[in-house]
Amino acid sequence: MNKNIQFTYQDFGWGKPTKVEMISIDKTGAIRVSETRDGSGGIEIGMVLNKHVMEESASVFAKGLEIL
CA distance 41 to 38: 8
**What is the tally of structural domains in the chain?**
1
Do the domain assignments include residue 49? yes
What confidence score (pLDDT) does residue 7 get? 59
Please give the residue range of the domain that contains residue 48. 7-67
Question: Which of these, 48, 5, 6, lies nearest to 27 by C-alpha position?
Answer: 48
Q: Is the pTM of this model over 0.85?
A: no
In terms of C-beta density within 10 A (0-12 exposed, 13-18 middle, 19 or more buried), how is residue 9 classed? exposed
pLDDT tens digits, residue range 11-51? 667 777 677 666 666 677 777 788 887 778 888 888 888 88
In a domain, 21, yes or no: yes
**Is 50 part of a structural domain of the chain?**
yes
- Please report whether residue 2 resides in a domain: no
Give me the pLDDT at residue 1, please. Answer: 46
Residue 34 domain-assigned (yes or no) = yes
Whether 1 is covered by a domain: the verdict is: no
